[in-house]
Structure 1
Amino acid sequence: MLDTNTPDKFIFHGAGREYFKIWLVNLVLTIATLGIYAAWAKVRTRKYFYQSTELNGNRFDYHGDPKAILKGNLLVVCIALTYVFSSAYSPGFAGLIMLSVIFLMPLFLVMSLRFHLANSSYRGLRFRFNGAAKRAYGKLMVTILISLGFFVVLGMVLGIGRGLINLEFSGVTSVLMIIAASLLLGTGIAFILAMFISGLRLFVMNHSKFGNAELKCGAQFGEFGKTTLKSTFLAGLALFLLAIAAFAINMSLFTDAFDFSMPLSEETPTTEDSAAQEQAHVAMQAMAMLSSLGAIALLAYLVLFAFGAYLKTAIDNLMWNNTTLANQHRFKSTASPIAATWIHISNILLIVCTMGLFLPFARIRSTRYRITHMAFVPVGSIDEIMREEQSKQKAFGDSMGDALGLELGI
């Protein structure tokens, strides 16, 4: 059946000033109640963002119970407090708690997804998640085992590298070895990221439903690999250039510091004054070196932050452009990873400059860009889709309310 319909674009009606008021009240009440109001704040925030998102003249909605979220929050706080106190008196028990939490993460993920989707709706029709915890364990365990294998091999390579350091190589050979090792490390990291992201994102998408209509993503691992490899290469190149800049700046400052050890003038070869001036000069050089290192570290953090924003946007595009609803209706995502990266970087700079007050505006800004570059491409009328799925809702509608009475923030 040919698709003759034009895409229905998603529209976001959220405004920075509106959300700032909600965010401020949530923050004050959460602090005043020692965190208890955080559950109600989460529901209020989700309702605002869901109800501000429109598709085909209708808006989404969220129906989560704050009390259920509070249970999850209290459980997380109890685990965290137990870990903190036990780490001071029984490090072994604290380690056991940490391992237990890591082991239970796939189960927590499935629980949270069931709760979250069961309480999300569009035109009165609920979403749902039917993924099993054992499948989540399977997906994540494969990635964990591959990651461990990679780091074992990496450790062996580093051990061999230490042995090669004692051998004499020409400058060109040493540079080529460093470049080869960096490329190997970057490729390995990209492969592990691709394994983890593809397994997790495909698990979530392919077990999500809108009513009884299944969401299915046909993206292949090779596509995830290309996306993560490109993002990792760009981030690695930026970090490499920063490392060169840091080395050049500090070598220049280090050289200047030693140049000062020569007499200042013919009249004052070595006096107490010149010694004091030299010490002051060396101290200034040291402060300059520390400042330059701090600036380089900040830039490196921004590079890693940009890497995350770029990769997430590219993966989102890959996922949605390969996803169908009920095996026929499609989605379209046209967000630019570069533009999204600039939005996230400028957001974090504005948040820092405003001491956090720009945070709600930043969230509105990034959400608006993401949603307004999404579209739904139906085959036939979207009203026909809704009527068909609403007629099936009774088959499972009663069971959704107790899909899970708990949400764990992950």
Structure 2
Amino acid sequence: MTTLDSAFPNTRIAQAEFTGQSGEFFKIWIVNLLLSILTLGIYSAWAKVRTNQYLHGHTKLEDHGFRYLSTPLQILKGRLLAVSVFILITVLSSFTPMLALGMSLLILVATPWLIMQSIRFNMRMTSYRNVRFSFKGNYWETVLNFLLLPMLALFFTLGIALPWVHQRIDKYIFDNLSVGGQPFKLNTDVGQYYVAALVAIAIMMAGIITIVIFAGIYGVMIAQAGEDSAEQLLTGTFMGLIVLLYLGLFILNFVAIAVSRGIVLKHIISTLKVEDVATFKTDMPLSGYIKLQLLNSLILILSLGLAYPVTKIRTRRFVAQHIQVELTEQADTLVNDVQGKDPAFGEEAAGFFDADLSFT
């Protein structure tokens, strides 16, 4: 257990842990996949609940696991309603171009609501020690942060303002979360988001320059070779070079994203707290996180994607073992203030219209 400086009197340090096993989760995942295929997607509602219950239940703090409270029928009803609405919109859009434009605008207007409902449902269906989480964000704030600001950043700053937008979105989400009536507070620094973006860009540029240099060396070798040798170089290794080029660009992109996400994730954890209840800390090494993601990528490639459950478990275990939570006495007195179950339509529709958000 890591010793941290206490910000409040009578506090204690709790080490987060993830106790899930790759073999166990793989069995759940493969059964879910096969049954979802055999039932033409109907079982996917049960698959989603089983997956979330396993991942939540094995994420623990002080030997208490989190819980996922939604039921398969609740998910299935929301999913069927979302599919019905999608089919209706598709049919209506096929009649006239104007109607298609109207449906597109309707989806655009509805997207922030879908995002908001998705977050709200996921939070209300998550509990810790029988105390459920909640999200109080509203439609117009969601429009501003998820729709207007990203569009303005792209069109008027050519993407330069996107790290700032990313920081605003994270603050909007976390600052509207609460547990037992106690609000979360995220004190991120926009500078860290720009550091993450610049480091990712530097990695991509350095990699591209390296690839160009090797391509240039190869071109010089061809130019200096005789006619027969040049033909052999061109025909014998051209396809191999193309494959290596695409593989190199893929690895570069993956490393850049992993570094960027690692920097932001570590910053979020270290600046997050629940007012008067908990303060989060992390000692996660960025190099370790990058190595983990690179190895996960290699595992996925070699297994043709079948090892996805293994990479999921590896990532959750690594992140959890580097998170500590400083808890006050008030953590033991929280009372659940969320009643009832929200309909799942918002979350399922958000996923169907590609507006879903993941907190994994």
For the superposition of Structure 1 and Structure 2, which TM-score range results when normalised by the shorter chain? 0.7 to 0.9
When residues 373 and 301 of structure 1 are mapped into structure 2, their CA distance, relative to the original with a 3 A threshold, is same
2:341 maps to which residue?
401
Of 76-85 and 58-67, the range deviating more from structure 2: 76-85
Q: Check conservation: 1:329, 1:376, Cα contact below 8 A.
A: yes
Post-superposition CA distance 1:136-187 (Å, at most 9, x none) = 1122312321221023xxxxxxxxxxxxxxxxxxxxxxxxxxxxxxxxxxxx
Superposed, which structure 2 residues align to 1:278-289 within 5 Å? 281-282=230-231, 284-285=233-234, 288-289=237-238
When residues 122 and 328 of structure 1 are mapped into structure 2, their CA distance, relative to the original with a 3 A threshold, is closer
- Residue 283 of structure 1: CA displacement? 6.5
SS, match of residue 236 in structure 1: helix
Superposed, which structure 2 residues align to 1:16-55 within 5 Å? 16-55=22-61
The alignment status of 1:354 with 2:303, answered yes or no, reads yes
1:210 maps to which residue?
179
Normalising to structure 1: TM-score of the pair? 0.74
Structure 1 Cα separation of the partners of residues 236 and 111 of structure 2 = 44
Superposed, which structure 2 residues align to 1:1-400 within 5 Å? 2-74=8-80, 77=83, 100-140=106-146, 141-151=148-158, 189=160, 191-192=161-162, 194-219=163-188, 223-224=189-190, 226-260=191-225, 281-282=230-231, 284-285=233-234, 288-327=237-276, 329-380=278-329, 384-387=330-333, 389-390=334-335, 393=336, 396-398=337-339, 400=340
Unmatched 5+ residue regions in structure 1? 152-187, 263-276
- Residue 362 of structure 1: CA displacement? 0.8
Identical counterparts, % of pairs: 22
SS, match of residue 134 in structure 2: strand
- Residue 124 of structure 1: CA displacement? 1.0
SS, match of residue 235 in structure 1: helix
Structure 2 Cα separation of the partners of residues 96 and 283 of structure 1 = 58
Structure 2 Cα separation of the partners of residues 135 and 101 of structure 1 = 17
Higher helix share: 1
Structure 2 Cα separation of the partners of residues 303 and 95 of structure 1 = 39
Unmatched 5+ residue regions in structure 2? 1-6
Q: Check conservation: 1:3, 1:378, Cα contact below 8 A.
A: no
Structure 2 Cα separation of the partners of residues 348 and 89 of structure 1 = 44
- Residue 201 of structure 1: CA displacement? 0.9
Tell me the C-alpha RMSD between the 2 structures.
3.0
1:268 maps to which residue?
none
Q: Check conservation: 1:12, 1:54, Cα contact below 8 A.
A: yes
Q: Check conservation: 2:200, 2:259, Cα contact below 8 A.
A: no
SS, match of residue 64 in structure 1: coil
Q: Check conservation: 1:321, 1:332, Cα contact below 8 A.
A: yes
When residues 3 and 86 of structure 1 are mapped into structure 2, their CA distance, relative to the original with a 3 A threshold, is same
Structure 2 Cα separation of the partners of residues 300 and 84 of structure 1 = 37
Q: Check conservation: 1:114, 1:403, Cα contact below 8 A.
A: no
Q: Check conservation: 1:71, 1:406, Cα contact below 8 A.
A: no
Give the letter aligned to residue 341 of structure 1: I
Give the letter aligned to residue 174 of structure 2: M
> May I ask how many residue pairs the two structures share in their alignment?
343
Q: Check conservation: 1:54, 1:60, Cα contact below 8 A.
A: yes
Of 16-25 and 86-95, the range deviating more from structure 2: 86-95
